[in-house]
Amino acid sequence: MTKVNHRYLTDKNGEIYFPKVHVEALLGIEDTDSENPFIDINNKIYELEEIIEDQQKVIEENKKFVERQDRILSDMIGDTGWIEYQVPPDMKNKAVSSGFKCAIREVRAGNDLIGKHFVVRSIRLNMSEIIEASMQIAQLPTGFITDNQSFIARQNGYRHPITIECLKDGKVMAFVHPDDQGKKNWVYQEFTWLE
């Protein structure tokens, strides 16, 4: 192959440059040589563009997959923590003053996107001054109770248990045994159920 003297191929700043030439102008390079990178350059560019286009499609599909997985996993597990609810002030947190507060909590695992999920809900009761046969002792946020729930709550060791009902409209009702009505009954208990 013939060597080209580069000393005359400089730009205005003295930097060496290589002029653009046709393959036929280069000595020693056959225009039918399959190993020659200058032959059929347009086809090679087209092939590279096709490869790049295919890779872009793969990248877009992967991006959509990752976004979907993010949506699925982002709300896969949720926990509200303990949230206090409405209780008359003269009853609230008075059964055990140093104990937990009247609060509700929702913990969920899974979601509708994966087709399987469940919710664990809990309520803490720390109330006193329960005296009537049937009385509303609290109001929960609407939607917390999906189906009515009923529990037997303990109180003073010498008295009958109190039945607690959590209704779909958010009311928390206490039912006191006739022997204990008119007395200052109290409830300090936590209940949990699965939905």
> How far is residue 152's CA from residue 195's CA, in Å, rounded to a whole number?
19
Q: What confidence category does residue 37 fall into, taking pLDDT thresholds of 50, 70 and 90?
A: low
- Domain residue ranges of the chain, discontinuous segments joined by +: 6-73, 77-194
CATH topology (fold) of 77-194: Immunoglobulin-like (2.60.40)
Q: For 179-194, how does the pLDDT look when each residue is reduced to its tens digit (9 = 90+)?
A: 989 888 999 999 999 9
Half-sphere exposure of 151 (CA within 13 A, CB side): 20
* 29 Cβ neighbours under 8 A, 6+ residues apart: 1, 23, 36, 38
Instruction: Name the residue with higher pLDDT: 29 or 166.
Output: 166
pLDDT digits (tens, 9 = 90+) for 64-76: 988 887 776 666 7
Query: Of 1-10, 75-84, 154-163, 164-173, which gets the smallest average pLDDT?
Result: 1-10
Window from 34-38, 64-68, 144-148, 156-160 with minimum mean pLDDT: 34-38
**In angstroms, rounded to a whole number, what is the distance separating the alpha carbons of residues 6 and 112?**
70
Judge whether residue 126 has pLDDT over 80.
Answer: yes
Residue 112 confidence class, pLDDT cut points 50, 70, 90:
low
Taking the C-alpha atoms of residue 117 and residue 75, their distance in angstroms, rounded to an integer, is: 11
